[in-house]
């Protein structure tokens, strides 16, 4: 991963005046862990605006200095900072070269820079990959912010009077010294309800997450810098009806292409392998395209019930990969907890496992890991794919009953179960019973009663009654009767987007 940071301000004292310690340099310095290979800052004066762009680089494609950022188009003067990877950059490069564009290096960032110069924001509709970017167009006196389809790469923004800041991490914005350190009460409520802060809110008041799958221009001729209305460059497609054979073939081809494109790397790469279906099919597809593929499995020495290392090793043997089992103990986990908490950008009840795995594999000089994140949303691996349809059928029968009667029924059904389970079932059976509500109630870490006990009121905080920011609820696509697709979409937007992708 890399890190980007930017400041747009009307105040010259916040721009680069030769001092080594400036708001932008502090922002970039706070993200050294995201990009230890290179760093850069560049300032531009556009009208009355001072525009500063900063970057931390983790080199993956084209390790030469030609990949240094901020990257400048030598002809137009356009400047870009980019965090992520484009998987179809070779195809885009070929198209640009056919149109007369020449390149200095081999990296995907340079392709994106020239693509934005040639096609503008429409470039994003052609991109296959994960990214957060800022693109300064000095000729038209504007700056583009954009984030990938699902929000794999983070991007946070803060508007502070005559200054606008953006960065890959909340801690980077705080490091500027220009963003007040105030906790957002709404974010605390969503964290308590779901175990992770729900976008677009962040734990810091005044800082918000830029929406996934959107782009926005900032007009640099404004009296003060403000982000224009974000416009979607992608929406989650509603599946078209097809036969089982067609679906299998379409998925197989798409999946194989995706894995092959993810193998593009000029640094050591490996697949994280467990005994599960998701990582196994990824490793199998990768092994077809990569010679001497490396796979890693975490082995739990003192938890045999969690240990999958023997089955994973057998899978690796069948696939012919160069396999490593990394043993981890409970003591290792306990030792790492303080460092994990210190490194969290925002509070989360999840993520220690990912932190432990990434830290351990990095010690084996592996820079890029392919994992099975996203497979449960695709393969229907979560219990919600079976629970929610059953609950929806039950609610169609129970909806005519008064809520107090449904609450009593829930307590009876959950008799003898823990109080938290009883409270969750009460919330489920007294709800409206639509798919979104049922899915979100299943993901709740605290019930409505527990939230009330802690003094959390959704209406007072301007939250949806399910303790979700209204903007996030507005992004849910409701144009399909396909229950499996609806569940997959909700799990992707909420659980994956706010929990798993932030780990």
Active-site amino acid positions: 2
CA separation for the pair 312, 321 (Å, rounded):
11
Burial class (CB in 10 A: 0-12, 13-18, 19+), 383: exposed
CA separation for the pair 371, 349 (Å, rounded):
20
Contact 36, 59 (CB under 8 A): no
User: Any idea what DSSP says for residue 13?
Assistant: G
Closest residue by Cα to residue 50 from 136, 117, 134? 136
CA separation for the pair 130, 150 (Å, rounded):
8
CA separation for the pair 472, 456 (Å, rounded):
19
CA separation for the pair 148, 154 (Å, rounded):
9
CA separation for the pair 258, 241 (Å, rounded):
22
Tell me whether strands 71-72 and 79-86 are parallel, antiparallel or unpaired. Answer: antiparallel
Burial class (CB in 10 A: 0-12, 13-18, 19+), 491: buried
Contact 136, 216 (CB under 8 A): no
Host H or E run for residue 391:
helix 384-398
Host H or E run for residue 85:
strand 79-86
Question: What's the residue count for the chain?
Answer: 503
């Amino acid at each position: 991963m890399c890190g980007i940071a930017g400041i747009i301000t009307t105040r010259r004292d916040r721009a680069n005046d030769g001092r080594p310690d400036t708001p932008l340099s502090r922002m970039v310095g706070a993200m050294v862990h995201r990009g230890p290979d290179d760093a850069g800052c560049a300032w531009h004066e556009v009208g009355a605006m001072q525009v500063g762009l900063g970057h931390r680089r983790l080199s993956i494609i084209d390790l030469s200095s030609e990949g240094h950022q901020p990257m400048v188009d030598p002809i137009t003067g356009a400047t870009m900072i980019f965090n992520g990877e484009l998987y179809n950059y070779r195809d885009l490069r070929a198209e640009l070269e056919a149109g007369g564009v020449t390149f200095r290096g081999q990296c995907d960032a340079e392709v994106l820079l020239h693509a934005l110069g040639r096609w503008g924001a429409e470039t994003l509709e052609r991109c296959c990959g994960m990214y957060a970017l800022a693109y300064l167009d000095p000729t038209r006196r504007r700056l583009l912010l954009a984030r990938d389809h699902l929000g794999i790469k983070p991007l946070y923004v803060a508007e502070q009077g005559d200054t606008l800041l953006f960065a890959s991490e909340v801690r980077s914005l705080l490091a500027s010294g220009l963003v007040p350190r105030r906790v957002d009460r709404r974010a605390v409520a969503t964290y308590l309800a779901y175990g992770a802060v729900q976008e677009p809110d962040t734990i810091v008041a005044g800082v918000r997450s830029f929406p996934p799958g959107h782009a926005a221009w900032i007009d640099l001729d404004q009296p003060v810098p403000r982000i224009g209305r974000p416009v979607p460059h992608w929406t989650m497609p509603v599946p078209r009806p097809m036969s089982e054979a067609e679906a299998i073939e379409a998925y197989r081809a798409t999946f194989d292409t995706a894995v092959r494109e993810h193998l593009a790397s000029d640094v050591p790469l490996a697949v994280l392998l467990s005994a599960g279906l998701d990582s196994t099919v990824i490793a199998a597809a990768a092994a077809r395209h990569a010679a001497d593929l490396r796979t890693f499995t975490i082995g739990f020495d003192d938890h045999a019930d969690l240990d999958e290392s023997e089955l994973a090793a057998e899978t690796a043997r069948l696939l012919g990969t160069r396999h490593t089992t990394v043993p981890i103990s409970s003591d290792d986990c306990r030792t790492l907890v303080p460092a994990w908490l210190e490194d969290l950008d925002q509070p989360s009840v999840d993520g220690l496992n990912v932190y432990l795995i990434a830290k351990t594999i990095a010690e084996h000089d592996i820079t890029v890991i392919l994992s099975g994140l996203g497979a449960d949303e695709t393969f229907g691996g979560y219990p919600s794919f079976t629970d929610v349809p059953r609950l929806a059928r039950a609610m169609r029968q129970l909806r005519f009953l008064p809520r107090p009667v449904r609450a009593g029924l829930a307590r009876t059904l959950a008799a003898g179960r823990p109080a938290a389970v009883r409270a969750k079932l009460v919330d489920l059976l007294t709800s409206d019973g639509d798919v979104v509500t049922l899915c979100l109630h299943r993901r709740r870490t605290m019930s409505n009663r527990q939230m009330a006990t802690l003094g959390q009121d959704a209406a007072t905080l301007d939250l949806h009654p399910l303790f979700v920011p209204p903007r996030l609820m507005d992004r849910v696509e409701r144009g399909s009767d396909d229950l499996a697709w609806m569940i997959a979409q909700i799990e992707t937007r909420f659980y994956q987007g706010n929990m798993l992708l932030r780990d």
